[in-house]
Every structure is written in structure tokens, then in C-alpha cells.
């Protein structure tokens, strides 16, 4: 990796100044920035005097070198990587790929085996304390981590080694953030999210199944440009993207208010685009940017396409009740036998008390007669 | 523990436990009352007992409550009548005909039914909450009610009021994040479910027994109101 600045690199690749500024604008939009928290960014003073956000971004890119990224995959499906590479926002992705330097990524790296591992070791030494560690997939802790090993080393070992020298860690997808599918009941591998295991480094969670590419790149861009992580919520998710629920921004919201619901996937309500709450939509408790950023270059998102939100950016969403069961419904339905046992127990205790009272009464009557 | 996991607890294990305590507790109460027994009826009936029961339900439960001027309660005490009536109407509209609650029934019973649009349930719930506040005020000021109200009565009011007010705020997405109020709503419902068998709120079940027995008595004597 060279030490040239991001702008120099883009310029060498034939990107004009005009295109460069356009990309800065795109980035500002992607980060959801109106007035960025510049004071917390650690930028030099002369940059803080700039008024326009886009100029601040431009200056940052002109003066900073690319940030090395190490991307680890554990118990995952590579879906987050897939989503990122197939993002329909090529300008944004191009820019982010130009502003970062992915040094290690098991799915994307052309090289393989010991060479790649050796390269990773070198990068970790050369850029100790500077690189961003991206984690995709959960970490199994059962059987000493034996459920996921790479080159004979367990996931937790690899994670701890890479985390030690990282400037920041980004957990992409629900698995890396909160354990995801591998953690679903009964969680045979004792899967955990990164932030449960690494507590001495800043960890940003970008949950989703998969994570929205623009949310991931926007967060990464924030780190690259401002040298600091964006504002996070109590689940370590960037507030810019996870500050509102799907329900808050849903295009079907007016139908919810009006009490117009689809009752099945092919009834008149579904055809009319009515609210999917009765079909199990988890939108009211799901914080993510799907309803505003959407997918495939803003084309659509699940609720718009007629499918209820599954709540994939929330912890334990696999165990959060049936996907097609209304959200207000209790998580589990007590078995009929258990309910019967409760009724039976109540009835038996009641009958015993009544019998005892009757006997007492009888004795009292006898006593008074004697 | 964050609000999401707390919500899972109040919607999951705690709700199940409360539901079982509620069901078992009501079975206990019912058996206790039924086994008190009643004296054999040796007098010949003047009228039909069944007709008495049907009439008393029609008039006392389904028609008269909505025709206030025939009710003595209304003439004697309109506040109790209107506030009490609105409270019960709003409460049961929300619990049975509100969409989120119907889905609860559906998950428990296995079948659902059509529901009312949100704005209608919403206004009825608001009226219900206002009625509860009026009733509390009345209970705090009326000397007779003050005299017969102990801790259990105030607790009854509070434990019914909490689910209603948290549910209302939650539906409107006011003040707090949705899952915070959802959790508090579920927590208050869970507590209420445990409290009902221990309290006079169990009148929701015994009301039907007392009305039936009254109907039998009226019918037997041929004096159906």
C-alpha cells in the first residue's frame, strides 16, 4: 500500500476535480451529514474553518492516505460481502474502495493460503493501531472454538489477534453484530457477536441480513474522513442510519393508521399495498435505514415489495416470534396441556379448600348442636 | 439487559407465567364459588326461569345500558353511569376489536376476526382513559366511596390504568421509543393478569353468574324487569 493521499490516487486514476467533488457530495449524503461533528473529528484546525461539508470532505480526502482494512469472515454466509460487491451505487462503492485498501478478505482476495495469511500478518504489523477491522459472521465459543477454524486456528484466536492492533472494529451483518442465525435457539455453537468478546476497542455494529451496503460504506467513510466513529446508539449502531424505525419511514404507514391491513399475501389488501402488520411485520421495533435508503439503488425494500419486515437489524431476531405472526402476539403459545394443568391445579386446590371449609362447617354445626 | 431483551422477556416467559397464573387462579376462584352451593328450589315457579335469564341479559346487558334514562343508576348518578359505561366500552373495544389485541387472541386461540380501524379504537381508548381519571377523581371526593376504598381498590385502578395509558402512548409513538413502551405495556399487562384472580377485577367472570342467577330468580317469580 502506498502512502499517497486519496485524492492523489484518484487523480492518478484519471478522476477529474469535478468528479472528485461530486463524489465528495455523494459521500456526505451517504453519511447522512448536514453538519458533521467536526470538532470531534481530530482534523487539523485549518480544516475546521471550512464552511461547506463537501469542502471539508474534499480537504480530508486530499490530505489523508487510504485506510487499510482487514476483513475477517467467521460463521457467515458471505452475504454481507455479496451485498456490498453487488451494490447498485457504483460511484459510492468505487469511492469507498478508493479511500480504503482492502488488504485481506477471504472471499475477494485473489491469492490464497499461506501467502495471504503472511500478507495479513505483515499488514497488521506495518499498520498496527491504524487499520480498520471488519468482521462478518459470528464467533463460536463452544468446544474451545472448534466449530469454526481457519488454517487450524479458531475464530476467537484470529479475531483477538486482529483486534489487538485495530484502530476500530466494524461488525457487519447481524451475525457479527449480535450472533445472527448461528445464535438462534438452541445456539449449538455458543455463537457470539464481536462486541460481546472485544471490549477494549471501539466496535460499531452494522446489523442487517445482510447489512445495507450504503450503511456500511457510509460508516466506513465517516471513519476514513473524520478519523472517528459516528455517533452510536445503545446497541453501538450509527444513529444516522439506525435512529428511526422501519415503521417511522414506511410508505405503508398511512394504511396502518387507517386500519387497512393485508390479511394474506394474495388478498385484496395485499394487492392494494395495505399495511403488513397483521402478516407479522416487525417494522415498529426495527431500527434500520431500509425504508429511506432502500436497496438496489433506491429501487425497493422488503415492505415495499410486499413482504413484512423480519427485524433483521435487531438482536435475536430469529427468536423474536414467528416471522408471519403479528408482532403484538406473545412470543410463544403455551401448550394446551400446560394450560389444562394450570386450570386443573386451580380447580383441585379450590375443591380441596371448599371440602375443608365444608368439613369445618359441619364440625361447627355438630359442636353447636351438642 | 436492553429494552429489546426486556421486551422479549415480558412478551415471552413472563407473559406465559402470568397467563398460567391467571387461568389457574380464575379456575380456583370459580370452583370455590360454585362449591359454595345453593339451596334446593322447592317452590313451584310462577314463570319460565330461562325466559327470565334471556330477558335479564337482553335488558340489563345488551339494551338498557345504551338507553340511559331507563337506568336508575343514570338518574341517580350520571357520572358513574357515563364514565363507568365509557370505560368498559372503550376497554373491551380495544381488547377485542383492536388489531394488535386480536392478533394476541389469534395466536392463543388459533383464529381471528375482523377489527375496527385504528382511529375508532383510538377515540374509544382515549374516552376510556378520561373516564378512568374521572372515576378516580370521583372516588377520591365522594365520602361514601372514600370510606369503602382501601389499598386494593386503588391498586385495582392503577393496574388497569397502566396498561391502558402505556398502550395509548405506544400506539401514538409518543415520548419514548416504541420498544420501551411495548415492554412497559407488556409488563403492566403481566402484572394485571396475576392481580386479576386476587382482586375484584375478577367480576368480569362473576358478573355473568350473578346476572344469570338474578334472571333465574326474576323468571321464577314472574317479575322480569
- On the question of pLDDT at A49 being above 60, the answer is no
Complex prediction ipTM: 0.73
Quick check: A257 and B5 CB within 8 A? no
Q: From the list A333, A339, A353, which residue is nearest B32 (CB)? A: A353
**Per-residue confidence band for A342, with pLDDT thresholds at 50, 70 and 90:** confident
User: Which range marks the domain in which residue A299 is found?
Assistant: 244-345
What CATH number corresponds to the domain at position A306?
4.10.480.10
CA distance B148 to chain A (A): 28
Dist CA A64 CA A5 (whole Å): 5
Nearest CA in chain A to B185: A328
Q: Is residue A168 part of a domain?
A: yes
pLDDT tens digit string along B11-32? 888 998 999 999 999 999 888 8
Q: Is residue A23 part of a domain?
A: yes
Nearest CA in chain A to B32: A350
CA distance A366 to chain B (A): 19
Query: Please, how many CA atoms are within 13 Å of residue A178, restricted to the half-sphere of its CB?
Result: 26
pLDDT at A263: 86
Q: Is residue A78 part of a domain?
A: yes
pLDDT tens digit string along A92-116? 566 566 677 788 888 888 888 888 8
Query: Is A100 in the same domain as A198?
Result: yes
Dist CA A180 CA A190 (whole Å): 11
Mean pLDDT of A16-37: 70
β strands within chain B, DSSP E: none
Which of A216, A237, A258 is a domain's end point?
A237
> In the structure grid, which three cell numbers stand for residue A250, read together?
414506511
Quick check: B104 and A328 CB within 8 A? yes
pLDDT at A304: 92
Query: Is A217 in the same domain as A257?
Result: no
Query: Is A222 in the same domain as A138?
Result: yes
Query: Is A266 in the same domain as A225?
Result: no
pLDDT at B224: 64
Which of A188, A205, A237 is a domain's end point?
A237
pLDDT at A357: 86
Q: Is B211 exposed, middle or buried (0-12, 13-18, 19+ CB in 10 A)?
A: middle
pLDDT at B165: 92
pLDDT at A52: 63
pLDDT at A23: 74
- On the question of pLDDT at A284 being above 80, the answer is yes
Return residues 96-135 of B near A (CB < 8 Å).
99-101, 103-104, 106-108, 115-121
Q: What are phi and psi of B180, to 5 degrees?
A: -65, -50
Residue pair A129/A165 in contact (Cβ under 8 Å)? The answer is yes
What CATH number corresponds to the domain at position A37?
3.40.50.700
Mean pLDDT of A74-99: 74
Q: Is residue A361 part of a domain?
A: no
**Per-residue confidence band for A83, with pLDDT thresholds at 50, 70 and 90:** confident
pLDDT at A205: 94
Which of A191, A218, A237 is a domain's end point?
A237
Query: Is A184 in the same domain as A266?
Result: no
Q: Is residue A227 part of a domain?
A: yes
Mean pLDDT of A40-69: 69
Domain count, chain A: 2
Query: Is A136 in the same domain as A285?
Result: no
Query: Is A208 in the same domain as A225?
Result: yes
Helix ranges restricted to H, A202-257: 213-226, 239-242, 253-257
pLDDT at B79: 79
Q: From the list B12, B28, B103, which residue is nearest A331 (CB)? A: B12
pLDDT at A93: 60
- On the question of pLDDT at A15 being above 90, the answer is no
Q: From the list B19, B116, B178, which residue is nearest A245 (CB)? A: B178
pLDDT tens digit string along B124-180? 999 999 999 988 888 888 888 888 888 888 899 899 999 999 989 888 777 887 888
Query: Is A195 in the same domain as A326?
Result: no
Q: What are phi and psi of A65, to 5 degrees?
A: -85, 165
Higher pLDDT, A16 or A266: A266
Q: From the list A256, A326, A345, which residue is nearest B103 (CB)? A: A326
% of chain A beyond a pLDDT of 90? 28
Query: Is A111 in the same domain as A230?
Result: yes
- Rounded to an integer, what is the distance from CA A98 to the centroid of its chain? 24
- On the question of pLDDT at A29 being above 80, the answer is no
Contacts 24+ apart (CB under 8 A), A92-95: A92/A23, A92/A26, A92/A27, A92/A30, A92/A214, A92/A217, A93/A213, A93/A217, A94/A23, A95/A23, A95/A26, A95/A27, A95/A221
pLDDT tens digit string along A163-201? 998 989 999 999 999 999 999 989 999 999 999 999 888
Q: Which of A123-127, A228-232, B18-22, B163-167 has the lowest mean pLDDT?
A: A228-232
Mean pLDDT of A327-333: 79
Q: Which residues of B touch A315 (CB under 8 A)?
A: 2, 4-5
Mean pLDDT of A113-137: 90
pLDDT at B70: 65
Q: Is residue A148 part of a domain?
A: yes
Q: Which residues of A touch B31 (CB under 8 A)?
A: 346-347, 350-351, 354
Higher pLDDT, B69 or B90: B90
Q: Is residue A357 part of a domain?
A: no
pLDDT mean across residues, chain A = 84
Query: Is A313 in the same domain as A217?
Result: no
The residues, any chain, with a CB within 8 Å of residue A352's CB and separated by 6 or more, are none
Quick check: A347 and B27 CB within 8 A? yes
Query: Is A286 in the same domain as A170?
Result: no
Query: Is A273 in the same domain as A182?
Result: no
Q: What is the DSSP letter of A96?
A: H
pLDDT at A240: 85
CA distance B52 to chain A (A): 30
Nearest alpha-carbon partner for B165 in B136, B186, B185, B190: B185
Q: With an 8 Å Cβ cutoff, is B221 touching chain A?
A: no
pLDDT tens digit string along A141-171? 999 889 999 888 999 999 999 999 898 999 9
CA distance A63 to chain B (A): 41
**Per-residue confidence band for A1, with pLDDT thresholds at 50, 70 and 90:** very low
Q: Is residue A130 part of a domain?
A: yes
Mean pLDDT of B89-116: 86
Mean pLDDT of B25-53: 82
Dist CA A124 CA A114 (whole Å): 15
Amino acid at each position: 500500500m502506498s502512502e499517497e493521499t486519496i485524492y492523489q490516487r484518484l487523480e492518478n486514476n484519471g478522476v477529474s476535480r469535478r468528479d472528485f467533488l461530486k463524489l465528495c457530495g455523494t459521500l456526505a449524503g451517504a453519511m447522512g451529514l448536514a453538519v458533521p461533528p467536526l470538532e470531534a473529528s481530530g482534523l487539523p484546525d485549518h480544516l475546521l474553518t471550512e464552511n461547506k461539508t463537501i469542502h471539508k470532505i474534499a480537504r480530508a480526502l486530499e490530505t489523508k492516505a487510504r485506510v487499510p482494512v482487514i476483513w475477517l469472515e467467521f460463521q457467515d454466509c458471505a452475504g454481507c460481502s455479496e451485498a456490498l460487491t453487488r451494490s447498485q451505487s457504483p460511484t459510492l462503492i468505487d469511492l469507498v474502495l478508493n479511500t480504503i485498501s482492502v488488504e485481506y478478505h477471504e472471499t475477494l482476495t485473489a491469492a490464497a493460503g499461506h501467502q495471504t495469511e503472511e500478507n495479513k500478518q505483515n499488514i497488521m504489523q506495518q499498520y498496527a493501531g491504524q487499520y480498520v477491522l471488519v468482521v462478518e459472521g459470528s464467533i463460536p465459543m463452544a468446544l474451545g472454538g472448534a466449530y469454526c477454524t481457519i488454517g487450524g486456528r479458531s475464530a476467537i484466536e484470529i479475531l483477538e489477534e486482529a483486534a489487538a492492533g485495530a484502530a476500530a472494529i466494524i461488525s457487519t451483518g447481524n451475525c457479527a453484530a449480535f450472533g445472527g442465525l448461528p445464535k438462534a435457539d438452541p445456539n449449538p455453537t455458543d455463537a457470539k457477536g464481536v462486541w460481546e468478546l472485544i471490549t477494549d476497542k471501539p466496535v460499531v455494529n452494522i446489523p442487517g441480513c445482510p447489512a445495507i451496503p450504503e450503511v456500511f460504506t457510509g460508516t466506513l467513510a465517516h471513519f476514513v474522513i473524520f478519523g472517528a466513529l459516528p455517533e452510536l446508539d445503545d446497541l453501538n449502531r450509527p444513529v444516522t442510519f439506525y435512529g428511526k424505525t422501519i415503521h417511522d419511514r414506511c410508505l405503508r404507514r398511512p394504511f396502518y393508521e387507517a386500519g387497512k391491513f393485508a390479511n394474506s399475501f394474495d388478498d385484496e389488501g395485499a394487492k392494494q399495498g395495505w399495511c403488513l402488520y397483521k402478516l407479522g411485520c416487525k417494522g415498529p421495533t426495527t431500527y434500520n435505514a431500509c425504508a429511506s435508503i432502500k436497496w438496489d439503488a433506491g429501487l425497493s425494500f422488503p415492505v415495499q415489495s410486499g413482504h413484512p419486515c423480519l427485524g433483521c437489524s435487531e438482536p435475536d431476531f430469529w427468536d423474536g416470534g414467528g416471522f408471519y405472526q403479528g408482532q403484538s402476539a406473545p412470543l410463544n403459545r403455551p401448550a394446551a396441556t400446560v394450560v389444562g394443568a394450570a386450570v386443573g391445579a386451580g380447580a383441585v386446590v379450590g375443591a380441596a379448600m371448599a371440602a375443608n371449609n365444608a368439613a369445618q362447617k359441619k364440625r361447627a354445626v355438630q359442636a353447636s348442636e351438642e | 439487559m436492553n429494552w429489546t431483551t426486556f421486551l422479549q422477556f415480558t412478551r415471552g416467559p413472563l407473559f406465559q407465567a402470568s397467563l398460567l397464573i391467571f387461568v389457574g387462579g380464575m379456575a380456583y376462584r370459580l370452583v370455590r364459588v360454585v362449591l359454595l352451593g345453593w339451596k334446593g328450589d322447592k317452590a313451584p315457579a310462577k314463570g319460565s326461569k330461562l325466559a327470565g335469564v334471556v330477558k335479564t341479559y337482553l335488558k340489563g346487558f345488551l339494551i338498557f345500558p345504551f338507553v340511559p334514562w331507563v337506568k336508575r343508576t343514570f338518574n341517580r348518578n350520571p357520572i358513574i353511569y357515563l364514565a363507568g359505561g365509557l370505560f368498559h366500552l372503550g376497554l373491551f373495544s380495544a381488547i377485542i376489536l383492536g388489531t394488535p389485541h386480536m392478533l394476541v387472541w389469534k395466536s392463543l386461540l388459533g383464529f381471528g376476526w375482523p377489527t375496527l380501524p385504528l382511529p375508532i379504537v383510538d377515540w374509544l381508548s382515549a374516552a376510556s382513559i378520561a373516564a378512568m381519571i374521572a372515576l378516580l377523581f370521583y372516588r377520591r371526593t365522594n365520602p361514601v366511596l372514600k370510606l369503602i376504598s382501601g389499598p386494593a381498590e386503588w391498586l385495582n385502578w392503577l393496574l388497569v390504568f397502566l396498561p391502558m395509558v402505556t398502550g395509548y402512548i405506544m400506539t401514538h409513538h409518543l415520548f419514548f421509543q416504541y420498544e420501551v413502551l411495548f415492554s412497559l405495556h407488556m409488563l403492566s399487562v403481566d402484572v394485571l393478569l396475576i392481580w386479576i384472580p386476587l382482586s375484584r377485577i375478577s367480576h368480569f367472570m362473576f358478573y355473568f353468574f350473578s346476572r344469570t342467577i338474578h334472571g333465574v330468580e326474576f323468571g321464577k317469580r314472574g317479575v322480569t324487569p
